[in-house]
């Protein structure tokens, strides 16, 4: 989740006309996570304020336990085959083993690098996929997964897309003209921690030690990038959206930022999060639209088109600026990619669902979501490269989707 404190987020909103000020967004209903002991107190306060309320998930911890039981059963079965699948969630070890497997099977296409070492000694890995037999210049696409620990569907989508791009015939023509950079797990310490116990399942930040006597651990890595740092983020180490003691205070963001700087001229940056089913473009730190908002929105619609087609119309994404749609927040990777690296197409994609399970998306949904998302990406990148079913019509071929007149 990008912009809203995770225990409190808007579920639905609508735009209304406001005299003399154009449209404003009204949040119609909110979803709140409360401790069991606080339940009756919260209900009373809402009654007093005359606000309607109902319990959507009576026991979040029970859902976590259910998920763990399911994973353990699957794990026992999987041990025998040692293969990656997208019918369940995978811990960091599984993901790293999969990266190594991909590197050894599709070795001519894959290169791996470590871009950072975390506080707990884990690697932040970058996987580059490109076809060395085809000449450039190629479109550079950067995909970031797992910057928020508990959003387990994000590394699932990232690893699936990585697999598709490397081995699927459907991607072969696109791969000839593109160069991919995948970060399956941008926050490995946090991700590993979220697998460690039911209580840790909803952990969001990294595991940073906030000073020798700090009571609370972790920095929100998606508030730590150096662009308008501090807006809509917390200075309290105990907050879920703690921005860190300074911009780029964390090894993960420093390493990722440096790697992006050395790759340079990135055309598309996407960071996968959950949940909400939204495609968000910059800015997060202001409600002002970015310079190329029309192009950003058009390419986002291509993603949605691909998803919609693959899901038979069942899944649709809302598209908009992250500031206007989710409230102001700065220090996010998509704003930095757009503003500091001048990546013309920069997005945060909030994966399904829209809130009924939220961060605890059932494992039975994983295969559907990864397939739909990959189809959305295929349409989006197909449009950008003019290849495949989402290519622009032959008559429009000269029309550039590139980005001109960058400001700021
Ligand atoms: Zn997130």
Question: Using an 8 Å Cβ cutoff, are 147 and 269 in contact?
Answer: no
| Higher-scoring residue by pLDDT: 53, 247 | 247
Rounded to the nearest angstrom, the distance between the alpha carbon of 114 and the centre of ligand 1 is: 22
| Higher-scoring residue by pLDDT: 406, 242 | 242
Rounded to the nearest angstrom, the distance between the alpha carbon of 255 and the centre of ligand 1 is: 19
Domain 83-396: CATH architecture, name and number where available: 3-Layer(aba) Sandwich (3.40)
Rounded to the nearest angstrom, the distance between the alpha carbon of 131 and the centre of ligand 1 is: 31
pTM: 0.88
Q: Of 64-78, 85-99, 255-269, 390-404, where does mean pLDDT reach its minimum? A: 390-404
Q: Which helix (H) or strand (E) holds 383?
A: helix 366-385
Rounded to the nearest angstrom, the distance between the alpha carbon of 81 and the centre of ligand 1 is: 32
Which two structure tokens, joined as six digits, stand for 27?
């949040």
Residue 222 has pLDDT above 70, yes or no: yes
Dump pLDDT digits (tens) for 358-395: 899 999 999 999 999 999 999 999 999 999 999 987 44
pLDDT band for position 214 (cuts 50, 70, 90): confident
299 alpha-carbon distance from chain centroid: 17
Do the strands 123-129 and 110-117 form a parallel or antiparallel pair, or are they unpaired? antiparallel
The stretch 59-86 carries a mean pLDDT of 77
Rounded to the nearest angstrom, the distance between the alpha carbon of 204 and the centre of ligand 1 is: 8
End-to-end alpha-carbon separation of the chain, Å? 26
Question: Using an 8 Å Cβ cutoff, are 347 and 271 in contact?
Answer: yes
Dump pLDDT digits (tens) for 156-191: 999 999 999 999 999 999 999 999 999 999 999 999
Give the CA distances from residue 259 to residues 133, 159, 263, 264, in Å, rounded to whole numbers and listed in that order: 24, 19, 6, 9
Closest CA to 323 of 278, 277, 286: 286
- Read off the DSSP letter of residue 402: S
The yes-or-no answer on residue 350 being catalytic is yes
Rounded to the nearest angstrom, the distance between the alpha carbon of 148 and the centre of ligand 1 is: 5
3-state secondary structure (DSSP) of residue 57: coil
Share of the chain above pLDDT 70, in %: 87
Question: Using an 8 Å Cβ cutoff, are 68 and 198 in contact?
Answer: yes
Do the strands 123-129 and 178-183 form a parallel or antiparallel pair, or are they unpaired? antiparallel
Active-site residue, from 151, 179, 350, 363: 350
Closest CA to 208 of 241, 234, 155, 244: 244
- For 130, list phi and psi in degrees, rounded to 5: -155, 160
Q: What is the pLDDT of residue 126?
A: 98
What is the rounded distance in angstroms from the CA atom of residue 391 to the CA atom of residue 389?
6
Rounded to the nearest angstrom, the distance between the alpha carbon of 405 and the centre of ligand 1 is: 30
Rounded to the nearest angstrom, the distance between the alpha carbon of 24 and the centre of ligand 1 is: 25
What is the rounded distance in angstroms from the CA atom of residue 146 to the CA atom of residue 370?
14
Rounded to the nearest angstrom, the distance between the alpha carbon of 313 and the centre of ligand 1 is: 25
What are the start-end ranges of the H helices in 90-169? 92-105, 153-167
Identify any residues that bridge with 26 across adjacent strands, giving them in sequence order. Answer: 14
Rounded to the nearest angstrom, the distance between the alpha carbon of 2 and the centre of ligand 1 is: 5
What residue ranges do the domains of the chain occupy?
A: 83-396
What is the rounded distance in angstroms from the CA atom of residue 288 to the CA atom of residue 277?
22
Q: What is the number of other CB atoms lying within 10 angstroms of the CB of residue 26?
A: 12
Rounded to the nearest angstrom, the distance between the alpha carbon of 140 and the centre of ligand 1 is: 23
């Amino acid at each position: 989740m990008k912009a809203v404190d995770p225990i409190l987020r808007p579920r639905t909103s609508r735009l209304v006309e406001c005299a003399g000020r154009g449209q404003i967004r009204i949040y119609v209903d909110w979803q709140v996570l409360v401790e069991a002991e606080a339940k009756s107190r919260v209900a009373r306060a809402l009654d007093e304020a005359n606000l309607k309320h109902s319990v959507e998930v009576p026991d979040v911890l029970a859902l976590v336990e259910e998920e763990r039981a399911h994973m353990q059963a699957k794990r026992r079965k999987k041990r025998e085959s040692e293969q990656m699948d997208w019918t369940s969630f995978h811990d960091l070890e599984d993901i790293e083993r999969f990266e190594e497997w991909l590197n050894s099977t599709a070795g001519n296409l894959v290169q791996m690098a470590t871009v950072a070492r975390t506080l707990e000694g884990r690697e932040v890995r970058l996987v580059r996929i490109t076809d060395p037999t085809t000449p450039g210049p190629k479109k550079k696409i950067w995909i970031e997964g797992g910057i928020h620990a508990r959003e387990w569907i994000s590394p699932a989508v990232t690893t699936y897309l990585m697999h598709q791009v490397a081995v699927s015939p459907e991607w072969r023509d696109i791969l000839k003209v593109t160069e991919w950079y995948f970060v399956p797990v941008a926050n490995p310490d946090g991700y590993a921690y979220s697998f460690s116990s039911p209580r840790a399942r909803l952990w969001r930040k990294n595991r940073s030690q906030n000073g020798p006597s700090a009571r609370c651990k972790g920095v929100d890595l998606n508030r730590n990038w150096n662009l308008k740092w501090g807006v809509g983020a917390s200075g309290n180490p105990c907050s879920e959206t703690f921005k860190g003691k300074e911009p780029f205070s964390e090894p993960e963001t420093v390493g990722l930022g440096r790697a992006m700087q050395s790759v340079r001229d990135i055309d598309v940056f996407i960071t996968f999060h959950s949940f909400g089913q939204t495609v968000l473009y910059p800015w997060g730190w202001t409600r002002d639209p970015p310079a190329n908002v029309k192009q950003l929105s058009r390419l986002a619609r291509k993603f949605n088109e691909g998803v919609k087609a693959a899901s038979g119309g069942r899944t649709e994404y809302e598209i908009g600026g992250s500031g206007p749609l989710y409230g102001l927040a700065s220090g996010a990777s998509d704003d930095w990619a757009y503003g500091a690296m001048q990546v013309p197409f920069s997005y945060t994609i909030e994966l399904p669902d829209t809130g009924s399970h939220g961060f605890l998306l059932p494992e039975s949904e994983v295969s559907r979501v990864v397939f739909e998302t990959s189809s959305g990406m295929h349409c989006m990148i197909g449009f950008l490269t003019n290849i495949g079913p989402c290519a622009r019509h032959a008559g429009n071929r000269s029309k550039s989707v590139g980005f001109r007149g960058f400001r700021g």
